[in-house]
Structure formats: structure tokens, C-alpha cells
Structure 1
């Protein structure tokens, strides 16, 4: 064996405590941020609350500061994978340990932290690509083949390697993550059960008769699969024991109302976005403490450390608010038609388009919009609602078409409801060409029964 020495130049991101804190603050919801700031006020004497009633709302123009611009380099962090500490610092350097204690509210970050113990840097980047394209339940928001091709170009790898990483996620610790559909998620969970006749029949039920399974039609299942009633009942019980999605929604903790993070109003001929300053307490550096420390004799390293920590926190909050305002401003500009005309006018909009508009990464936009609410003249709802997937082959979003379907059904005569193919024909006249099965899918998502079930007998004269 021959020993050799080789020099290699690599480029990486140095995760400072300030950078990590900024990332963590970015993804906090309003209640979580309020708790974070109250805890900071309790443990750091260099901070004090701002008790000024005139600043109930902070306008976007007044939020940008020199401190934000100076610390804006935190967005150079390209992927959430770095939150795991993988690929930076020494082997014993746990990046997340340098942030204040607390578990991330983003399930993607928690999963990447778990994967960092077994996956290499390249594999983690591939995993992060798939997780960034999953919805809140862990299912993919797009076709796996198309996403693999896009990811191969973005990560300088092959589509086959990305698909292998997806399969590894699919059958990993969080079984079903990155599944293309609920059926694939169920099949991945079934694969972890012992191989027997019941599992085999359950796999056939999920793969071939998912609609009959959803309708709990055991007779139809038994006839279609050529199995007896007892075998179908056992396989159905096995499927019902599985999780419908790989990521379970968090337990409800709200008290019945939502406090919006931002608000939008139409003033002076334009839509204006403002932070809801009453959602969280405002803090600042205590001026008297800072002045006293500047003239204090002797070693004051502990107090100076607290002062630096307070400055980082205030700066991180300013950065978070600025990023939130800029993101919402773009969302409002792109969805102006929705705010003015309603659900049918919502335009197709993706995370990438918003990220390009504000000059940041998609993962940053995902973090800043998750769990944040906006108050509009059309109600208060989550920012994620302003994103919409473009309907294939059309210039409108699926959400807009769904609203059109609902309006047509709401306006139909009770004794002559519109069939799905009729609704598809009416939409085609407006330039929106969709298949009958797409109308049926939207109708199911709206919990609207079929035309036959909606039919009401005409009143006798």
C-alpha cells in the first residue's frame, strides 16, 4: 500500500451562532416567537420591552435597517441540510446545539437532523431536494420523474441517483415520506410488514382497488380480487392500521382564534402590507445598561457577552420581519386579482417564483410562510394559501378551477344538477379544458356529492 498526500480546496458555509439563530427565528410562528422573546427578556437584563402604543403596526418601508443589510448573509445558507451540522466544522461540532434549546417546528428539519447521522453530505442534499417538494403531510407536490430531472440539473447529479434517494426516504425511518401518492405511501408501509397472504392481498387492494377500498365496499373488493370475505376483511384491517400520510399533523393547540402575522389593506389606490406589531412583544437594547457597561471598570466579559447576545437577537428579529414583509409584498402583488375578485382569480404561483423575486432561496420562502397568517379583506388565512399549482395545459391554477366548479354547482337548479361532464363542457367554453375525472376530483375535495345525490325532486304545481 502506498501512502500519498493530496491537497484539496473546498468551499463551505461557516455557521456562526448568529446565523443559526437567524434561521431558527425565521421559521417561528407568532405564538412561538412571543414565547421566545419573553424568555429572552427574563434571562437577559440587557433587553427591555418596548411599550409604545403608537406602533401597533410596522410598515414595510420603516422596517429595513442597516443591521438587517449587514446580517443579510444568513440567506446564503442554501439548504436546510446545514441545520444538521453535516459537512461543516469538526466531527464533534453540533451546529444545532449552539442555538437556544428547542425543537424545530418544521418536520423537514427534524428528519434531516435524524438522517445526518447515517447519510453523507451528497445524499443529504438529495434528501433535502425531495423534502422541499413535499407538502405538510410528507407527500410530493409534483411528478417524481419531472422533479428528479429538475433536481439532477440543480444538484449536478443524475435522475437515477435522486430517485434512489427518494426510495431510501420512502422506506426509511419515516416510512412513506416523499411518496408520489397516498397509495404509494401505504404500499411503502405495507412493505415493512412480514410477507404473508394478508399483506399480499392488502398490496393488491391498495394498488388495484384503492377506490373500492376507500368506499369500504368489501363485496366489490372480494369480487374484483377473487378472494373470500374473511381474507378481504383481514387485509382491510391491515390497511386501516396504517397511517394515511407519513407526517401526522400536529395536535391542535389553538384557542379558537388566529392572530395574523401581517395585514394587507387597499389604501391610496394600492395594496399595502404591514406587520401586526401586536402579535408579538417588541424588544430593544436597554440603553441605560449599555451606557453603564461602556464605563464599567474591571472585567465585564460576562455582561458584554449578554450584550452581544441581545444585539444578535434584535438584529435577527429585524431580519425576520424584513424577510416576511418582502415575501408577503410579492405574494400580494402576484395575487392582486385574487384579493380583488376572489378565489376564481387566484393565479399560479410557486415557491421558486417568489424566491427569485426577493433574491432568496426556496427553502427560505418555505420557512417564512409556514404557519404565518395574513389578514385581508377576504378573511384571515395562512400564507400558503396564496401559492397555487398551475393546471396542466392551462394558464390558470387548480385552486381557481376548483372555485369555478363550486360556483357552477352552487348556481345549478336543485331539480337538475350538473353532471361532471357538463361542468367540464361549461368550463371549456371559458377556455379551461379539463377532464371529467378532474371535475370529479375537485368535487370530492370540496365534499360535494355526485349529481345523482344532489338531485332534489321538483315541487308539485
Structure 2
């Protein structure tokens, strides 16, 4: 048995209590920061809250704290702060602002299928999903056999047999998202029903969906029992199973709760330029009680506990100064880069990423990510989260998705009264302006704006 000695050189970051506290302060929103300070003030008698801001003292604190900035920016993303493990992944949502996942469920499904499907199958799946609305239902053309007409169209466009194209649709229909690319509600519910355990109850529910959908819609359980020749109790159980299914293949996004928002930063236009200031109501200031610091500095004897409290107080004051300085400088860059949006609206919002802001304030992207998370800006155009001022650049264009969505809205608002614009027509109009996007992207933006498809708008006009 041999013994040997090896030397390994490992590069690591020493996560001191000071650094951990400073990162925590960066991430806290206004309410969390207020709670944090209340707990610290109750625990540490050497701290007191300031009622009047001392700008000179704050500037000194920020300058001193800036010496530690390089140490922050070398830190990994803060999975350890939320109890995560150092796996190399991040739980910081704002770290993905510049490259976030698509909000279009059809795009997410395609990304998922790309892991197992062949390229030719993916092409056919993309064709089907391109003809689905955001709920997951096919947008069928008018005619006596709309599904067959759509199949013929797809076979011609993709140069694939119609049977092969329908097979891909069935795989979508009965795949990981049951009911996707369904032609109607019955087909969607039937696909979901097939995921339930096999048995008499499922068989009875299938018979109801296939042969007695009208009675199901009328909630006439007695008539269903008579038609099916079974006991009303069994019918009631089968109906309950059907009602437990989703009405749409794609679940509707959860609605955000309305709440009162107090902005962290305020921006206003004066003297031909935009100005930014921290909201004093959401930036509480604390300081070390002067008489306590003087007493401890000249005290003799063992005061280890009190000196520990003094160190904690100094770290907190320094961390707050750095947090406020970082928030202010980040917001100043955001307002400067997005002044077009603040003056003219969504169509003028410019593509902007975390990296661009980080380079402007000479910090790391993770620092910018932490400071904008959960922080709100009050402007003459309204109050909104700082993350809204970031915009992903569309491929091959000098414009972001938010601006394109605003353009889609403008085109629909200005469409001819008796000839609403279809999604592919809107895509064509945008292409003339150098903005090339797919029809399904137009449909996604239209649904985000709560605007119905062209046929729904035509029906609304006919009723009017």
C-alpha cells in the first residue's frame, strides 16, 4: 500500500457574515427591508432610526462600501440564501431577464418535444401548434369539413402525407399536454379522460362524451341515466369525473393579486431631463447612536458583547448605504436608456439586458439582478416593477417584444371596421416595417392584450 501527498489549488469565495448580509439587503423589497430593520433595531440597542436624511454621511458610507464591491461581484448566484444547494443553477428569477423562457405555451411545448422527437416530426408539430390558439384548440377554417381542409393545407405546405400529419396531431392530442391541438371540446376532454385509470367509470364517461354531449351540457343527469340504461348514481360519478377535467388543454395563468404598491424609486421630468430619487418612505435610514459609539470607543475592560453589537451595526449601516446607492444608480441607467418609453409609450421601449446595465454601472449582472427584483418605479406613465424596463431584443431586429406587442395593438385598433385583420396579415404588415415574426407570435401578443381572433371580432361586429 502506497501513501502519497497531493496538493490541490482551489479557488473559492469566502462568504463572510458581512457579505451575506449585504447580499440579503440587495434582494429585499421595501416591506422585507422594513421588517428586517425592525427586528435588528429591537435586537441591537446601539442602532437608531434616522428621521432626516444625512446626504453627506450616506455618500461617505457608499464610498467606503464600494471597496467591497469586487468581492460581491465574484459571488455565485444566491441559491444558498434560499436554502438551495450549490449545483450551479440559480433560483434568482431576475437572473433570467435577458434570456427568459417563452410565455407562449406552444413554444414551451415545442422545446419539451425537441428532447425526444425527430426534426421532421417537430416540423409537423410546429405546424399544428402554429394553428392553435393560446388555449390549445385548433383555429379551424370555415367550411363543411374544416379539419380535413386543414389537413390538406398542411400536406401541401409541408409536402408530407395527410395521414402522417394527422398521426402527429394525435401524438400531440394524447401526449404530455392531453387535449393539445384538439378540434373541439369533446376531443379535448376525451384525450384527458384517456389518462384516467381504466374501468367502468371511465368507459361510462367516454360514452357520455361521444354520444350525449348535449345532455351533459344541459346537466340533465336523469335523461343521461335513461339514455345509457344505468343507475343515476353511476351517471353522477361519471359526470363528476368529466367535470374534474380541464376545459382547455392549456391551463390559464394564475391571476396576480391586486395590491397597494409603494414605489422604491421616483422618476420625473423637469428642466428638459429625467431625474431620479429614492422614495424616502421605502428607504428607511438607520445610524449608530452617537453617544453609544463614543462610550465604547473610550471604554476600558471587557465589552466583547457590546463591541460585537457595534460591528453588526456598522455592517448594517454600510450595507444599507450600498444598497441605496446601487438601487439609485441602476434606476438612473434604466430611466436614461428607456426615456423613449417614458415619453412615448410601449412602442418606444428599447431592447435592454442585464449585462448592458451592469456594464453601465460597472457591476456584475448578478448584482443588478438582485437589486431590481421586487423594486418599483413611480413615473408620470404609471408605477411598475423595474424589471419591466428590460426588453429582449427580437432576432434580426433593433426592437423588443414589448414594442411589437404595442404595434400589434395599434394595428388592430386601426383596422377597418368591417374587415378585421387576421394574425398572418398583421405579421405581413409588420414585416413591411422590417419586423419579421411568426403568426403564432402575433396570436400570443393578441391574447396577452385580451383581444379575440379575427373570427370573434367579426362576430362581435355582426352583432353590433
Question: What CA distance in whole angstroms lies between the structure 2 residues aligned with 1:289 and 1:430?
Answer: 67
CA 1:68–1:242: 2 relative to 1, 3 Å: farther
C-alpha contact (below 8 Å) 2:97/2:353 kept by paired residues: no
Q: How does 1:12-411 map to 2 (within 5 A)?
A: 12-52=12-52, 65-80=62-77, 84=80, 110=82, 113-114=83-84, 116=85, 124-125=87-88, 127-128=89-90, 134=96, 140=101, 204-206=174-176, 209-212=179-182, 217-219=185-187, 222=190, 230=205, 252=257, 256-411=259-414
Unpaired runs of at least 5, structure 1: 85-108, 144-162, 164-181, 184-199
Question: What CA distance in whole angstroms lies between the structure 1 residues aligned with 2:436 and 2:256?
Answer: 39
TM-superposed deviation, 1:78: 3.1
- 1:5 is matched with 5
Instruction: Tell me which moved more, 225-234 or 451-460.
Output: 225-234
- 2:418 is matched with 415
Given the alignment of the two structures, is residue 452 of structure 1 paired with residue 455 of structure 2, yes or no? Answer: yes
Over aligned residue pairs, what C-alpha RMSD do you find?
Answer: 4.1
Question: What CA distance in whole angstroms lies between the structure 1 residues aligned with 2:397 and 2:338?
Answer: 17
Question: Please, what TM-score do these two structures have when normalized by structure 1?
Answer: 0.67
Q: Deviations over 1:51-99 (max 9, x none)?
A: 22x77xx79x958732222332442333125x53xxxxxxxxxxxxxxx
Question: What CA distance in whole angstroms lies between the structure 2 residues aligned with 1:331 and 1:63?
Answer: 25
TM-superposed deviation, 1:220: 5.6
TM-superposed deviation, 1:36: 1.0
Question: What CA distance in whole angstroms lies between the structure 1 residues aligned with 2:328 and 2:49?
Answer: 22
Residue-pair matches, total = 361
Question: What CA distance in whole angstroms lies between the structure 1 residues aligned with 2:462 and 2:250?
Answer: 44
Question: What CA distance in whole angstroms lies between the structure 2 residues aligned with 1:132 and 1:392?
Answer: 21
CA 1:251–1:290: 2 relative to 1, 3 Å: farther
Instruction: Tell me which moved more, 436-445 or 380-389.
Output: 436-445
Question: What CA distance in whole angstroms lies between the structure 2 residues aligned with 1:333 and 1:295?
Answer: 48
Question: What CA distance in whole angstroms lies between the structure 1 residues aligned with 2:254 and 2:74?
Answer: 27
TM-superposed deviation, 1:50: 1.0
TM-superposed deviation, 1:222: 4.7
- 2:161 is matched with none
Question: Please, what TM-score do these two structures have when normalized by structure 2?
Answer: 0.67
Question: What CA distance in whole angstroms lies between the structure 2 residues aligned with 1:223 and 1:11?
Answer: 54
CA 1:28–1:220: 2 relative to 1, 3 Å: closer
Q: Deviations over 1:425-449 (max 9, x none)?
A: 3222322222322211210121110
TM-superposed deviation, 1:46: 0.9
Q: Deviations over 1:278-306 (max 9, x none)?
A: 21421111111111222233211111111
CA 1:37–1:225: 2 relative to 1, 3 Å: closer
CA 1:135–1:331: 2 relative to 1, 3 Å: closer
Q: Deviations over 1:386-417 (max 9, x none)?
A: 11111122211011000111122223344332
CA 1:135–1:390: 2 relative to 1, 3 Å: closer
Unpaired runs of at least 5, structure 2: 105-114, 116-133, 136-169, 196-202, 210-237
TM-superposed deviation, 1:360: 2.3
C-alpha contact (below 8 Å) 2:420/2:457 kept by paired residues: yes
C-alpha contact (below 8 Å) 2:408/2:442 kept by paired residues: yes
- 1:188 is matched with none
C-alpha contact (below 8 Å) 2:394/2:400 kept by paired residues: yes
Q: Deviations over 1:175-195 (max 9, x none)?
A: xxxxxxx99xxxxxxxxxxxx
Q: Deviations over 1:253-297 (max 9, x none)?
A: x7x321111111222322222111121421111111111222233
C-alpha contact (below 8 Å) 2:95/2:366 kept by paired residues: no
